[in-house]
Structure 1
Amino acid sequence: MTAFSLEPAQLAWCAELRTLAAERLHPLADKGEPGHVNRALVAELGSLGLLGRLFTSGALDLCLMRESLAYACTEAETALALQGLGAHPVHAYGTEAQRARWLPLVTAGTAIAAFALSEPGAGSDAAALELRAEAEAETDASQAGRSSDAPAPTVDTSLTAAPDGPARWRLTGEKCWISNAPEADFYTVFARTTPGAGARGVTAFLVPADRPGLTGRGLDMLSPHPIGALDFDAVPVTADDVLGEADRGFRVAMGTLNLFRPSVGAFAVGMAQAALDATLAHTAGRDAFGGKLRDLQAVSHQVAEMALRTEAARLMVHAAASAYDAADPDVPRRSAMAKLLATETAQYVVDTAVQLHGARALQRGHLLEHLYREVRAPRIYEGASEVQRGIIAKELYARQEAR
Structure 2
Amino acid sequence: MPAFSLEPEQIAWCAELRTLAARRLRPLADQGDPGRVNRPLLTELGRLGLPRRLFASGALDLCLMRESLAQACIEAETALALQGLGAHPVHAHGTPVQRGHWLPRVADGSAVAAFALSEPGAGSDAAALALAAEPDGSHAWRLTGAKCWISNAPEADFYTVFARTTPGAGSRGVTAFLVPADRPGLTGTALEMISPHPIGALDFDAVPVTADDVLGEVDRGFAVAMGTLNLFRPSVGAFAVGMAQAALDATLDHTRQRQAFGGRLMDLQAVSHQTAEMALRTEAARLMVYAAAAAYDEGAVDVPRRAAMAKLLATETAQYVVDAAVQLHGALALRRGHLLEHLYREVRAPRIYEGASEVQRGIIAKELYAMTQDREVR
Q: Same fold (TM over 0.5)?
A: yes
Query: Equivalent residue for 1:60?
Result: 60
Residue 208 of structure 1 and its aligned partner are, at CA, apart by: 0.2
Alignment of 1:41-190 (within 5 A): 41-137=41-137, 161=138, 167-190=139-162
Residue 222 of structure 1 and its aligned partner are, at CA, apart by: 1.4
- Tell me the distance in 2 between the aligned counterparts of 1:208 and 1:224: 23
- Tell me the distance in 2 between the aligned counterparts of 1:328 and 1:123: 28
Divergent runs of 4+, >3 A: none
2:262 is aligned, of 270, 290, 312, to 290
Query: Equivalent residue for 1:390?
Result: 362
Q: Structure 1 residue 378 and structure 2 residue 350: aligned?
A: yes
Paired letter, 2:24: R
| 1:96-141 Cα deviation digits (max 9, x unpaired) | 111011001001110000000001110000000110100013xxxx
Residue 7 of structure 1 and its aligned partner are, at CA, apart by: 0.6
Alignment of 1:185-204 (within 5 A): 185-204=157-176
| 1:242-263 Cα deviation digits (max 9, x unpaired) | 0000000000000000000000
- Tell me the distance in 1 between the aligned counterparts of 2:265 and 2:120: 46
RMSD: 0.5
Query: Equivalent residue for 1:328?
Result: 300
Query: Equivalent residue for 1:306?
Result: 278
- Tell me the distance in 2 between the aligned counterparts of 1:297 and 1:377: 32
Residue 224 of structure 1 and its aligned partner are, at CA, apart by: 2.2
- Tell me the distance in 2 between the aligned counterparts of 1:323 and 1:132: 35
Alignment of 1:257-268 (within 5 A): 257-268=229-240
- Tell me the distance in 2 between the aligned counterparts of 1:224 and 1:318: 26
- Tell me the distance in 2 between the aligned counterparts of 1:187 and 1:28: 25
Which SS does the other structure have where 1:119 is aligned? Answer: coil
Which SS does the other structure have where 2:33 is aligned? Answer: coil
Alignment of 1:203-352 (within 5 A): 203-352=175-324
Paired letter, 2:302: D
Which SS does the other structure have where 2:56 is aligned? Answer: coil
| 1:244-286 Cα deviation digits (max 9, x unpaired) | 0000000000000000000000000000000000000000100
Paired letter, 2:96: E
Query: Equivalent residue for 1:34?
Result: 34
Count of aligned residue pairs for this structure pair: 375
- Tell me the distance in 2 between the aligned counterparts of 1:218 and 1:21: 28
Structure 2 alignment gaps of length 5 or more: none
Residue 304 of structure 1 and its aligned partner are, at CA, apart by: 0.4
Paired letter, 1:30: D
Paired letter, 1:61: D
| 1:71-96 Cα deviation digits (max 9, x unpaired) | 00000000000000000000000111
| 1:331-355 Cα deviation digits (max 9, x unpaired) | 0000000000000000000000000
Rg larger for: 1
Residue 365 of structure 1 and its aligned partner are, at CA, apart by: 0.1
Q: Identity across aligned pairs (percent)? A: 83
Residue 174 of structure 1 and its aligned partner are, at CA, apart by: 0.6
- Tell me the distance in 1 between the aligned counterparts of 2:197 and 2:325: 23
Paired letter, 2:192: D
Q: TM-score, normalised by structure 1?
A: 0.93
- Tell me the distance in 1 between the aligned counterparts of 2:169 and 2:297: 32
